[in-house]
Structure formats: structure tokens, C-alpha cells
């Protein structure tokens, strides 16, 4: 009741800003008579979103599956690596500097190369890009999370004569979960970017990135924008899915910090 009311109170300002942005968009186009190819009206974009649904939506779904695959593979590998590195100190000291340096590399620049490595027309090349983008943030955050249990908590478990495995399972993993979900939220966004940018360098004809790229090349900007809308909605859906699972799993955090 009060919870829902509070939620509504939080949503209203955001809705107002959203409505104002759309209104401003419209106003700018009307006032300066902006050509449709430079900036289509929101109405035209929504119309294309609906009228071209037989092309756009399956393309979106195709790309979404690539992003999802990359997200799953990259995040899983990130978590596994963090666990191994956390368990064996020497592995950690050997790999961490390289991992951190690799984090600074603009991985998206490898997209054309990945396309060659993993067949540009198959979804695997896009999955690979998305996976590589997701891997590092998830790994780094998971590592930090696994180390976030307080020394006292570990000491208490030792007083109960717990094994390392038991401490890992009962203390380190739950303590890491909030960190992992923070990383997964970042990774969900990155995976969609990775898949679409990967497709800009070539890919199946029924992929969203290819579609947007081709539309822009043939001056079909309205459909390109509609494609971007599809991509945004799918990105939001993936992000929302992660947030939802976070709320289901990490129930112990005070609500305002989520």
C-alpha cells in the first residue's frame, strides 16, 4: 500500500521528464522544420516500429539471442575465473595485472577481427564480442565481492570449526551476490551493445545491427530509428530481468539501496 504509493511517487517525476523530452523533440522538429532524415518525429518512429514489425521484431529477437548468449557465457566465465583466482592466490597475482590492463583495452575495436575468427554470418561471432565485453566487469566485481566478507565473519566461522569450502558457501558467496548483480547490470547493457556493434561489421540479414546499418545507408532513417527503439526496448528488458532477479535473490538489502 504505502510501498506502492511510494513507488508511484518515485515514478511520477521520471514520467514527467520522459513526456517533456518527447514534447521537446516534437517542438524542435516543428519549430525549425527539421527534415525527417535528420531527426524523424516520435510519431513516425513509432509508426515504423509497428508497420515494419515483420522485419524489425524478428531481427531484434535474433540480436537479442546473440546478446543473451554472450551475456550468459561472458558472465559465467567471469564468475568462474573470479572463483578460481580467489581460491588460488598465485593464479590471481599472475593474471590480475593482465586482466586489469585488458580492461582498459577498447574491446569493441576487436569486433571486425572477431567477425573473421568466428564466421561473420553466424551469431557466434557476435556472442563472442558480447561475452568478452561482459567478462571483465563480472570477474572484477565477483572477485571484490568474494573478498568482501569481514575478517570477523570469517573468524566466527572458524570458531565453529568450518572448512574453507563451508566458509565459501555460507559466507563468501552470499557476501559477493550484491557485487555480482551490480556487475550483471553493467554486463546486460554491454552485451546488447556488443551484439549490435558486431553486426555493424557484417552479419546475417535478419539481424538488427545489420538492418539499422543498411537503413541508414539507404536513407531510410525512420526505420533505422525504429530499429534503435527496438534495440533500446530489448536492452531495457534484459536489464530489467537482471534487476528483477536481483530483487528476488538479494532480499536482505535495505530497499532504498537497490
Residues that bind other proteins (CB under 8 A): 150, 152-153, 155-156, 158-162, 166, 170-171, 174-175, 177, 250-254
Shorter beta-carbon distance to other proteins: residue 165 or 218: 165
Smallest gap from Cβ 148 to other proteins, in A, equals 11
Smallest gap from Cβ 155 to other proteins, in A, equals 6
For residue 127, give the H/E element and its range.
Answer: helix 123-146
- Spatial CA neighbour of 133 closest among 167, 164, 106: 106
Smallest gap from Cβ 212 to other proteins, in A, equals 42
Question: What's the rounded Cα separation, in Å, for the pair 206 and 63?
Answer: 9
Nearby residues of 227 by Cβ (< 8 Å), 6 or more positions away: 56, 59, 60, 208, 211, 212, 215
CB of 116 closer than 8 Å to CB of 57: no
Smallest gap from Cβ 241 to other proteins, in A, equals 22
Shorter beta-carbon distance to other proteins: residue 176 or 238: 176
In the numeric block, the cell 515494419 is attached to 52
Shorter beta-carbon distance to other proteins: residue 31 or 160: 160
Shorter beta-carbon distance to other proteins: residue 43 or 158: 158
Shorter beta-carbon distance to other proteins: residue 197 or 250: 250
Shorter beta-carbon distance to other proteins: residue 53 or 158: 158
**Burial (CB count within 10 angstroms: exposed 0-12, middle 13-18, buried 19+), residue 13:** exposed
Smallest gap from Cβ 175 to other proteins, in A, equals 8
Residue 47's region, left for phi above 0, alpha for psi from -120 to 50, else beta, is alpha
In the numeric block, the cell 583495452 is attached to 105
Smallest gap from Cβ 157 to other proteins, in A, equals 9
Compute, in degrees rounded to 10, the torsion defined by CA atoms 104, 125, 219, 225. -70
Amino acid at each position: 500500500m504505502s510501498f506502492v504509493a511510494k513507488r508511484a511517487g518515485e515514478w511520477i517525476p521520471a514520467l514527467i521528464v520522459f513526456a517533456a523530452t518527447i514534447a521537446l523533440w516534437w517542438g524542435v522538429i516543428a519549430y525549425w522544420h527539421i527534415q525527417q532524415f535528420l531527426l524523424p518525429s516520435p510519431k513516425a518512429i513509432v509508426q515504423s516500429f509497428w508497420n515494419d514489425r515483420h522485419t524489425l521484431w524478428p531481427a531484434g529477437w535474433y540480436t537479442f539471442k546473440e546478446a543473451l548468449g554472450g551475456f550468459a557465457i561472458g558472465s559465467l566465465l567471469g564468475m568462474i575465473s573470479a572463483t578460481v583466482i580467489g581460491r588460488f592466490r598465485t593464479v590471481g597475482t599472475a593474471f590480475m595485472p593482465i586482466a586489469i590492463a585488458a580492461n582498459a583495452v577498447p574491446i569493441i575495436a576487436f569486433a571486425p577481427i572477431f567477425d573473421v575468427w568466428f564466421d561473420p554470418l553466424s551469431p557466434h561471432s557476435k556472442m563472442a564480442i558480447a561475452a568478452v565485453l561482459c567478462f571483465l566487469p563480472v570477474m572484477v566485481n565477483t572477485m571484490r565481492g568474494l573478498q568482501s566478507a569481514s575478517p570477523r565473519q570469517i573468524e566466527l566461522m572458524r570458531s565453529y570449526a568450518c572448512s574453507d569450502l563451508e566458509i565459501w558457501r555460507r559466507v563468501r558467496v552470499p557476501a559477493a551476490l550484491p557485487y555480482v548483480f551490480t556487475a550483471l547490470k553493467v554486463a546486460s547493457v554491454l552485451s546488447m551493445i556488443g551484439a549490435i556493434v558486431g553486426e555493424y561489421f557484417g552479419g546475417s540479414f535478419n539481424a538488427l545491427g545489420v538492418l539499422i546499418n543498411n537503413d541508414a545507408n539507404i536513407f531510410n532513417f525512420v526505420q533505422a530509428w525504429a530499429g534503435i527503439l527496438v534495440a533500446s526496448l530489448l536492452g531495457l528488458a534484459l536489464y530489467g530481468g537482471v534487476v528483477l532477479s536481483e530483487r528476488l535473490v538479494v532480499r536482505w538489502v535495505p530497499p532504498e539501496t537497490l
